[in-house]
Amino acid sequence: MSPMDLHFVRAGLAPDFLDYDDGWALQRTAHSEVRAGSRANTVFLLEHLPVYTAGRRTEPHERPFDGTPVINVDRGGKLTWHGPGQLVGYPVLRLPDPVLIVDYVSALEEAIIGVLSDHGLAGARIEGRSGVWIRGTGGSRDRKIAAIGIRVDHGVTMHGFSLNCSNDLAPYSQIIACGITDAGTTSISAETGRTVTPADVVGPVEARLRQSLGTLHASAAHSDPERRAESGTYNEGVLK
């Protein structure tokens, strides 16, 4: 996979929000085609209609307090929300061999951190927690601005990331988002004080993903034999 191998599909941006089940069907079809070699590596970028989704590690007490329905999915991680104003990315890619799943996740995080920097925000990683964060200062809590939950099956990725742009943050108050109780949730608009929509960032997200995933490919091509052997134990699974 090189930067030129990536095909981006804007599958539903405001006002044409995509139902979650329709997006899930897109992923499944693309996964089968990428695995068979009949489709180029594809990244779907979109906004969903409002929905809660639960990864494999979601606990019963983390589900919506008001009984709102939840779609169970086969990605890693726990419970999260998707909806208008949030940019969702579903990369369906054949990972280079060798590569560790954690390196792929790091490449997604790196792209998001780059996009945030364009808006004057210092996106950060927090050890032991996936996704991208805005660190708290002066006693304030850390705030999650982007979530990541993936699945790798037969070396091909599914699911991906969500970046809070201009979405309402109230739905997060009804759940224990990502199973985390000691941190908050935020968006680009909330942090900058100006409205920044998914349409405003989708182009930069594409450019940053080309860069970070291209670097991932180059690193895999030049990895040492020990790294190649290590990757075999990580090449299938789910992570959040």
Is there a binding annotation on residue 67? no
Three-class secondary structure of residue 129 per DSSP:
strand
When pLDDT is averaged across residues 143-154 and rounded to a whole number, the result is 93
Cα distance between residue 92 and residue 31, in whole Å:
6
> Which pLDDT value is given to residue 234?
32
232 pLDDT more than 50: no
Is there a binding annotation on residue 82? yes
Summarize pLDDT for 86-125 with one digit per residue, the tens.
999 999 999 988 778 899 999 999 999 999 999 999 999 9
Residues forming beta bridges with residue 160, ordered by sequence position: 149
What 3 state SS string does 17-78 have? Answer: CECHHHHHHHHHHHHHHHHHCCCCCEEEEECECCEEEECCCCCHHHCCCCCCCEEECCCCCC
Residue 231 binned pLDDT confidence (cut-offs 50, 70, 90) = very low
Is there a binding annotation on residue 133? no
Contact 53, 73 (CB under 8 A): yes
> Which pLDDT value is given to residue 129?
82
Summarize pLDDT for 1-54 with one digit per residue, the tens.
444 489 999 999 999 999 999 999 999 999 999 999 999 999 999 999 999 888
Looking at CATH, the fold of the domain delimited by 3-223 is given as: BirA Bifunctional Protein; domain 2 (3.30.930)
Beta-strand relationship, 42-46 and 7-12: parallel
Is there a binding annotation on residue 175? no
Summarize pLDDT for 172-218 with one digit per residue, the tens.
887 655 556 667 899 999 999 999 999 999 999 999 999 999 888 88
**Any idea which residues carry the catalytic annotation?**
178
Amino acid at 166: S
Q: Check whether the bond before 98 is cis (ω within 30° of 0).
A: yes
> Which pLDDT value is given to residue 34?
97
Cα distance between residue 101 and residue 107, in whole Å:
10
Is there a binding annotation on residue 24? no
Q: At what angle do helices 198-221 and 101-118 cross, to 10 degrees?
A: 140
What are the domain boundaries of the chain? 3-223
> Which pLDDT value is given to residue 1?
46
> Which pLDDT value is given to residue 229?
35
Retrieve residue 40's tokens.
């180029």
Contact 23, 48 (CB under 8 A): yes
236 pLDDT more than 70: no
70 pLDDT more than 90: no
Is there a binding annotation on residue 120? no
Is there a binding annotation on residue 193? no
Is there a binding annotation on residue 17? no
> Which pLDDT value is given to residue 183?
72
